[in-house]
Amino acid sequence: TAAALDREKVARYSLVARATDGGGLWCEAEVVVVLLDVNDSPPMFNMPHYTASVYENTATKALLTRIQAIDPDL
């Protein structure tokens, strides 16, 4: 390829291939290239930092806060 392939930017390529013989006869076929992803992007949190406050008598297993991360490879 002339440049690096990146599934996060373009996941599929479609092209037409043509074969021509010496007499001018030809045929065409559609070629679909599907890029398979590799784990090349780290997960990212939605915010740079999180803060949670909790009372000292909070029950065990209580939900303190929610944090979220996304994985661009999925």
Backbone angle region of 24, left / alpha / beta, with phi > 0 → left and psi within -120 to 50 → alpha: left
Q: What is the pTM of this model?
A: 0.53
- Residue 66 neighbours by CB under 8 Å, 6+ apart: none
In tens digits, the chain (74 residues) has pLDDT values of 788 998 889 999 999 999 999 999 999 999 999 999 888 889 999 999 999 999 999 999 999 999 999 998 87
pLDDT at residue 26, as a whole number: 97
> How far, in Å, CA of 19 to CA of 39, rounded?
36
Chain mean position to CA 52: 31
Please state the domain extents for the chain.
12-70
